[in-house]
Structure 1
């Protein structure tokens, strides 16, 4: 009899789970009149999204590139081994911006943001390792694992009002994390990404580049990035848009770049929205020994990020992508991008204020 009761309970739980997973998501599209949608018009790749500024591989010129020793040790970066397992111990000072945004860096590309109107937002939350099937492939072919992963308590997750994802790549978009966060928040995605959400009754808003949505007292803008999008092994390349996010509150702005290479789109964003108060810009994953290849085309080196911040008129730049909880993809060590950033800040005489965080740090600006 006990076996029957347990089996019945398991069957009931499975039925409830299947029913929840089959609940359709609620999807709306916000495409304002001045939106920009770049898609292939005809031919084999018809309907695929594409970057605004396109050049053949090897033809793109970058404003600056590091030469010589790009990774000298820095007294403020304390490491267990050269460039590896480090903590930034330097000053963490930022201009008095009075934006009332609080930025909590969870690691890699994941941020928790508290907004001036009392909301809690998440950018690109990925709490564990890669989703299936990449996590399965890790064990077979030795794909690099995240050394440890950021976590939020159930209470912190329950307080989330909105989740904003930039693109579909496994280190930025996680089904496991989405299920952990749940259906209470609204999910903001670039066009086409709702097709890749897990089912279960999630509320989704899709946006095009330069479209905006209201969120409490905020305006949420999707802005261009110079990247690409894919999720499956075959036939879904660039079938969904990618981008960065710009939050606006009473004239104060916070920008999350998403994954992006350097292009003129940064200047375009500044021309539309003016100088940006807070800029969250990636500095990692660029294959330092092959900087003229495709990888740099869609990822910023530290010097690219500094120049992008200047183009944007950033009043403070918070770099991300490096760190002890990163997957260290395309980098020499966990903190080689940060060492290069500090080196190139001096070489370029960059006037953009840097606010350098360790994973888990939180700052109100």
Structure 2
């Protein structure tokens, strides 16, 4: 049986060619980048509180695209990756919480199959007996690895759990873990709703009109939006938003607060964490957006959503 191949809504936003990849690698050799800046890390994490907490809604940035989100007494993890390196590149900053300091996990949300978003060595070490919510086409991989509590989602699918509505929403990206499985599973973001707030985890995406569609369907309070891995833009733009496009996407979703992510942990492209943040802040000022609508988190920082003013 021929395997399903998934596509973006914009069919022209396809994969780069091998020629494009060679050109990027050639350009990369000529660039001199300052990697001395490290994303700030909190002096003291709140692991004791997080382990006991069942009532206060929180968002904790572990690093890259990994967040611990606590809602309605449930512990939710997005794209859990504690890997010390990706390929030959070492992690630039340590995770904000160690796996052993996490509370038992109830739900894991996976945006897509790339190694910086899906780490087998990480998910097999999680406490608890989580249910894995994954893009359609990825369920078999989880079941082969022994994770029987797995639910596949297609775009716009919604499930109810513990008083939450969890929805899988579109993104513009792609998927691949081996030489033969390109786009055999889908990709996307996640929306988590309780009675009082809505959190949108965008996963990985280039800029596309789908951000406006997501904002039309959900009244979003917290938007976890990627800002890194965008250079060179001629190569990366279809799959990763630049900081400027991240702000444009945030505005499209009509979210109340933007929390930047997907920078500072791994060197996936030619931009640096400092460049991503500098461009983000410059564009924020240029557009005269309210400072309280941007929450730049430290690694390991916890936001208590019930007390964070929006």
- What's the TM-score once normalised by structure 2's chain length? 0.81
Match of 1:335, SS state, is helix
1:48 aligns with 2:5: yes
Match of 1:50, SS state, is coil
Structure 1 consecutive aligned stretches of length 4 or more whose deviation exceeds 4 Å: none
Corresponding residue for 2:153? 207
C-alpha distance in 2 between matches for 1:206 and 1:165: 10
Q: Is the 8 A contact 1:121 1:160 kept in 2?
A: yes
Corresponding residue for 1:342? 281
Structure 1 residues 306 and 128, CA gap change in structure 2 (3 angstroms): same
Q: Is the 8 A contact 2:174 2:183 kept in 1?
A: yes
1:332 aligns with 2:271: yes
Mapping of 1:310-325 within 5 angstroms?
A: 310-323=251-264
Q: Is the 8 A contact 1:229 1:242 kept in 2?
A: yes
Number of aligned residue pairs: give it.
Answer: 271
What's the C-alpha RMSD, in Å, of the aligned pairs?
2.5
Higher Rg of the two aligned structures: 1
Q: Is the 8 A contact 2:99 2:126 kept in 1?
A: no
Q: What is the CA distance between 1:154 and its match in structure 2?
A: 3.1
Corresponding residue for 1:304? 245
C-alpha distance in 2 between matches for 1:177 and 1:343: 35
Q: Is the 8 A contact 2:6 2:183 kept in 1?
A: yes
From 263, 285, 288, the equivalent of 2:229 is 285
- What's the TM-score once normalised by structure 1's chain length? 0.69
Listed one character per residue, the Cα deviations across residues 160-200 of structure 1 (whole Å, up to 9, x for unaligned) are 11111100000000110111016711010010111222522
1:163 aligns with 2:118: no
Q: What is the CA distance between 1:329 and its match in structure 2?
A: 1.8
C-alpha distance in 2 between matches for 1:113 and 1:171: 19
Corresponding residue for 2:22? none
Q: Is the 8 A contact 1:227 1:260 kept in 2?
A: yes
Mapping of 1:194-233 within 5 angstroms?
A: 194-197=139-142, 198-233=144-179
Corresponding residue for 2:21? none
C-alpha distance in 2 between matches for 1:350 and 1:328: 29
C-alpha distance in 2 between matches for 1:296 and 1:252: 31
Q: Is the 8 A contact 1:302 1:337 kept in 2?
A: yes
Q: Is the 8 A contact 1:306 1:350 kept in 2?
A: no
1:104 aligns with 2:60: yes
C-alpha distance in 1 between matches for 2:3 and 2:295: 42
Q: What is the CA distance between 1:118 and its match in structure 2?
A: 1.1
Q: Is the 8 A contact 2:41 2:299 kept in 1?
A: no
Listed one character per residue, the Cα deviations across residues 94-137 of structure 1 (whole Å, up to 9, x for unaligned) are xxxxx95310000011000111x11111000101235xxxx6xx
Mapping of 1:130-149 within 5 angstroms?
A: 138=87, 143-149=88-94
Unaligned stretches of 5+ residues in structure 1: 1-44, 58-80, 90-98
Mapping of 1:16-31 within 5 angstroms?
A: none
User: After the TM superposition, which of the residue ranges 196-205 and 170-179 deviates more from structure 2?
Assistant: 196-205
Q: Is the 8 A contact 2:106 2:128 kept in 1?
A: no
C-alpha distance in 2 between matches for 1:248 and 1:207: 16
C-alpha distance in 2 between matches for 1:342 and 1:88: 19
Q: What is the CA distance between 1:82 and its match in structure 2?
A: 7.7
